[in-house]
A and B are shown apart, each in its own frame.
Chain A
Amino acid sequence: MAQVKGIKIQTAGAWLSLVCGALSLVTGIYYAVAAGAANNFTATVLACFLLGAVCALAYSLVPSDWADILNLVAVVFIVVAILEFIVSSIATLADVLSGITMFGSSGGIQYIAITLVLGLIALVVELVSCFMKRTK
């Protein structure tokens, strides 16, 4: 397998977690920028995305046996990030679904959709990695 800065990424599971980590990082940054612009920023969401990213990346890159559980931990962080994000976006989602402005929309639906898609991809990727070995 490939080698990243001296660290061997030996399996597809490790690669998937690396992808998940990168995606979570991107999602977190995108969320921070977009939600901030929409006046809908929640620190919990960003923290969970970033912690998820750290865990996923550590799973791939840290050569410790005890890091083997980190992709599962990443799953939990990312799930919480997504759920908290949905909850904080309820007002906008309600306005969009009902077709009227009454529930307190913050920003448009676009950034919500993008954040959700990115986050869900990261989640699914990391869930798959949980079923796979980290090392040969």
Chain B
Amino acid sequence: MGTISRRQFVKGAAGITSTVFATTCVGAPVAESYRGRINTALGIDTTSVTSSGSGGDTTYYKSDYGTDIYDATALQKLEDDCAAAAIEEVEGGVVLLKNENGALPLQKGASVTLFGQNSFENPDVDTASMGFGYTGPTYGPFYSYHTPSDTSTVKWVTYLSAMQEAFDVNPTVTEAYQTSGYGRVKDAENPEVGEAPVSLLTDDLRASWASQYNDAAIYMITRQGSEDCDLVLEDSEGISQLALHQNEKDLLALLQAEKAAGTIKRIIVLVNSSWAVELGDLANYDVDAILWVGTPGVVGFTGVANVLDGEASPSGKLVDTYAKNSLSAPAITYAQAKNTQKWSNLDEVLDTCNDTDRFVQSYLIYAEGIYVGYKYYETRYEDAILGQGNATSTAGSSTGSAWNYTDEIAYPFGYGLSYTTFQQTLDSCSFDSTSDTYTLSVTVTNTGNVAARSVVEVYAQTPYGDYEKQNKVEKSAVVLVGFAKTSELEPGASETVSVEVEQYLLASYDYTKAKGYILSAGTYYLAIGDDAHDALNNILAAKGAKGMVAVDGSSTSGDASNVYSWSTSDVDASRYAMSRYVDSQQVTNCFDDADLNNLGTDTITYLSRSDWDATFPTEPVAVRATPDMMEVLDGNFYETPDDAPSVSDFTQGEDSGITFVAMRDVDYNDEETWNVFLNQLTVEEMASILPDQNGSVAIDSITMPASYRGDDMDQLQQVVFKLNGESGFNWPCAIVEASTWDIDHITKRSNLTGNESIFMGLTEIWSGGPNIHRTPFNGRASAYYSEDGNLDYLIGEVVSRECQKYGVILGYKHMVLNDQEANRESAATFANEQAIREEYLRAFEGAYAKGGCMGCMTAFNRIGVTYAGSCSATMQDVMRGEWGFKGVICSDACVGSDYKTHYATNLANGLDYWCWDMAGFGPGSDSSTAKLSNTVIAEDIENGDGYLLKALRDATKHTVYAQVRTSNINGLDDSSQIVHANAWWENAITGTQIVSGVLTAGLLGVYVYDTVKAHKAQDGEDKKGAEA
């Protein structure tokens, strides 16, 4: 081989430097496109604010933990308070479903064996990724990037460590599970529940609990979904993922046998799932106690242990219906990947639409109407008891026999036991016409012998008469309308609580005749009860019905004394004809286009209690997309209106000296001031804040700092603590929070999250919450409060108000009808307006119309065939029109997908900015061009579209109005200026590009010089040789 000549060395070196040079040349534009995301990931701020400090105290939004967000002691105190609150939340949010023979609580230090593969982390497995494929309990939340171990300032408490702290845990079985090699597998189409076969428990292992560790067998059943990964209707065992699987049944049978043999004293089942597992079969295995623990976050298992050993008495109530058969709900007919439909004329749709095929092909129909969760099961129960509506037909029956409540329901909505017993008495009910509310006074007495808290649940039944039947106004037999939770009551102690019920929640939306809300004519009932079913039985008792059954199937007569009723003689269509929140704003149909029956194509029969048998959805309807539907499906349907203003009608770039911070107290309706303010900005400046990458850029001319946005109320991530670059506290999932039914706690948690946001400089939290659990299979259900629109309405108001008062925008998502992860991108979603308003919009209404929530993220799906980010019905008509929403609305993550980035259409219909608006680089048609929203909108306006300029000014106003009410204005005064800096990685790329480019050029020069020189030398030698 010999030594390398200089010329070869130079060429090789040039190869390396040119490789580096090419990499920087190709990579730099990509990195630039993702600049915001990269900076967020690295925790880099590229803008800062300088000020002379002459403005006095400019800390407009103060943390409860001091004003120095770099104070490590203060931050640790905040995080410790979060941890303490989380443990309290779990203690008050776990739900005791069964407790026979005083099985619980256990004695502290009891000798127990923990069973179930999902109870244990495998110490040899990397815990950094935690999610699917991770063996262990589910802690939540379930974004792909969320992990319990991300919370650096609070020590992660595993289930095992919490149990070892409270009990004497069998180490032999623990080690066997830890080293078994079994675990959950991430596979959206064929997930595994992750339970080990019972053969793992060999005779040697069984001997370990023969003489000790047998005070209790504690078996934890686990289910897991996640973002983009629903639970499935049918898995590899041919059953619902929520059903008990064979390995689980085998283990339960083993425990049952051990108990029968006298080896194990009691069997306790923990349900570690945010999804309603089918628990009915547990009755076959002599289980003594069942405790739903949900997904309790980074320290929550301490709270679980506290409940198990009696340090705390459980007081949570279910916020979902736990059906014995998770497939029995009518919504299942159009749900999840298996039952999502494709257009019957799919080829025509694909040929017609320009957007990517998979973004225009699927649809869902909410044929169940309002009958979701308990509203279906309890309404059908009432009709079965009263012998009406063919309720006992076999349609929808899990057994194939006549429909029967006891066959269908394991635990109803609102259900939950305690270690004590309570007596709840309805003392009085009064109506205040001024506030339009009923107030119920309820006395709660602890009739047992353990101190505990009690939840007072108030349900309503409104009339279902001829008017309703004729005009397709459906009525749930019971609807949750209010609740309250007592303080901790000592044995024998009583407390009287007041529960306010808005009459508005008794109204029904009539989308066919009144085209607005009505108060029906007939008899109204307000009832308290231990749960939805108990309250309904009380109402049925008040109606004089017979033959009622309790949750366990036993006969009951209900308690009419816990019911308040009154009657009206006429349908009242005027009371709520106008908005409750905005003067002179009519409330009327906005979603006719989302109802398939209005679109001139195949029609749908919605489920009606007038005839359960004839209307229960059994087979999906094949739907043909019409040309009009395809035009909207294709997404780019904006056309400049004929009466649009011209660009010259507006003044831009006229400095009036009004800074961003000066707008902090300007009323939204002060049009004159807002116009003067907006006139200062150029089109380019306004457009610059349209694209988001976990924040938007600063606007120097008005000293508006850059904004910072990230997920989620269950754990603040993406944007991190300024002090240490770490994520926020990892809370129990939203369902556990809701299951506390404790407004005081929800207030505390919201306050703590608001405080965290200040320590991060976070200006907007994109967060789940109000979407309801249409089915128990939604992979993202853990981020949404409940199956009930009204409960979400009541919670959302509190969370919004209590979080935002610390100067952060709560951007609730996903607006709206976004109720599954399968086909979440772009599925067309059809529903009637009653269901949309009373269930899906109601869940958001409390936050926006009453709680002052200032942010909103639209969904990936379509409302009807209209992409949610282009749906003026939700964004303009309902949110801004009826609810008086003044904040900012963004899309869900765009990331270059074509159907999400019809920018002009989005903007014209009410969108204010685009989340993760980053260029698509792929060649496929699903990638947008490198032109982002700011460029496209500015070009359209430059081409003379005055309508878009008006829309851009509106979007800017919305953004500024919301941003100027955040902690982003802290430190701003009249002397403030924005200072820009490059991120270190940008400088590194530029430097590397220059150095490698110069080196390449130099090395090539040397190479050419050497080559020419060698040739000349060779020519000389050749010449000499020839002469010789």
Contact = CB atoms under 8 A, between A and B. Distances in A.
Contacts of B27: 83
B11 A87 contact: no
B18 A72 contact: yes
Contacts of B1011: 65, 68-69
Contacts of A130: 8, 11-12, 14-15
Contacts of A42: 923
A81 to B, nearest CB: 10
Interface string B2-36: 10110011011011101100110011001000000
B922 A127 contact: no
B631 to A, nearest CB: 23
Contact of A87 (B14, B30, B131): B30
Contacts of A79: 18-19, 22-23
Interface in A76-122: 76, 79-80, 83-84, 87-92, 94, 98-104, 106
A102 B26 contact: no
Given A76-B19, A91-B895, A102-B228, 9 more contacts: A68-B11, A72-B11, A72-B1007, A99-B132, A99-B228, A100-B144, A100-B228, A104-B895, A104-B897
Nearest to B1015: A65
Contacts of B474: none
A87 B132 contact: no
Given A40-B924, A80-B26, A83-B26, A69 B895 contact: no
B895 A133 contact: no
Contacts of A65: 1011, 1015
> Range of interface residues on chain B?
35 or more
* Interface band, chain A: 35 or more
A104 B926 contact: yes
Q: Which residue among B2, B22, B144, B920 has the maximum number of chain A CB atoms within 10 Å of its CB?
A: B22
B16 A127 contact: yes
B15 A72 contact: yes
Contact of B18 (A76, A99, A103): A76
B552 to A, nearest CB: 41
Contacts of B921: 87-88, 90-91
A99 B19 contact: no
A104 B15 contact: no
B346 interface: no
Interface SS of chain A:
helix
Interface string A50-63: 00000000000000
Contact of A131 (B9, B227, B920): B9
Contacts of B18: 72, 75-76, 79
B1 interface: yes
Nearest to A41: B923
Contacts of B924: 39-40, 104, 106
B15 A75 contact: yes
A89 to B, nearest CB: 7
A75 B1007 CA distance: 16
B922 to A, nearest CB: 5
A131 B30 contact: no
A40 B12 CA distance: 33
A90 B26 contact: no
Nearest to B4: A131
A131 B16 CA distance: 10
B228 A106 contact: no
16 contacts: A40-B922, A83-B27, A90-B30, A91-B920, A98-B144, A98-B145, A99-B228, A100-B144, A100-B228, A100-B229, A102-B893, A126-B15, A127-B15, A127-B19, A131-B9, A132-B4
Contacts of A12: 1
Interface in B893-928: 893, 895-897, 920-927
Contacts of B12: 127-128, 130-132
A98 B893 CA distance: 13
Contacts of B2: 133
Nearest to A43: B923
Interface string B489-503: 000000000000000
Among B22, B30, B145, B922, residue most surrounded by chain A Cβ atoms (within 10 Å):
B922
A103 B896 contact: yes
Contact of A99 (B30, B131, B922): B131
A132 B12 CA distance: 8
Which are the 3 A-B pairs with shortest beta-carbon distances?
Answer: A131-B12, A100-B228, A99-B144
A117 B23 CA distance: 17
Nearest to A94: B895
B186 interface: yes
B900 to A, nearest CB: 10
Contacts of B9: 131
B250 to A, nearest CB: 31
Contacts of B896: 91, 103-104
A123 interface: yes
Contact of A80 (B22, B228, B356): B22
Contact of A106 (B131, B227, B926, B1007): B926
B228 A131 contact: no
A13 B8 CA distance: 10
A89 B922 contact: yes
B25 to A, nearest CB: 8
The residue among A41, A69, A75, A102 with the most chain B CB atoms within 10 A of its own CB is: A102
Interface in A13-50: 13, 39-42
A67 to B, nearest CB: 12
A76 B15 CA distance: 7
A25 B921 CA distance: 24
A106 B922 contact: yes
Contacts of A76: 18-19, 22
A75 B145 CA distance: 37
B9 to A, nearest CB: 6
Contacts of B14: 72, 130
A52 B132 CA distance: 41
A68 to B, nearest CB: 7
A43 B23 CA distance: 19
Nearest to B143: A100
Contacts of B131: 99
Contacts of A39: 924-925
A106 B16 CA distance: 31
A103 B924 CA distance: 12
Contact of A69 (B11, B19, B893): B11
B833 interface: no
Nearest to A76: B18
Q: Which has the most chain B C-beta neighbours within 10 Å: A65, A89, A130?
A: A130
A99 B145 CA distance: 8
B248 interface: no
B895 A102 contact: yes
A80 B437 CA distance: 69
Interface in B995-1028: 1007, 1011, 1015
Nearest to A74: B15
Given A68-B1011, A87-B30, A127-B16, A104 B922 contact: yes
A90 B144 CA distance: 18
B685 interface: no
B923 A75 contact: no
A90 B31 CA distance: 11
A97 B258 CA distance: 45
B712 interface: no
B787 interface: no
B23 A40 contact: no
B825 interface: yes
Taking each of B15, B22, B144, B186, which has the highest tally of chain A beta carbons within 10 Å of its own beta carbon? B15
Contacts of A91: 895-896, 920-922, 926-927
Contact of B228 (A68, A101, A104, A133): A101
Contacts of B227: 100
A105 B759 CA distance: 36
A71 B186 CA distance: 44
Nearest to B896: A104
Contacts of A69: 11, 1007, 1011
A111 B339 CA distance: 30
Contacts of B8: 13, 130-133
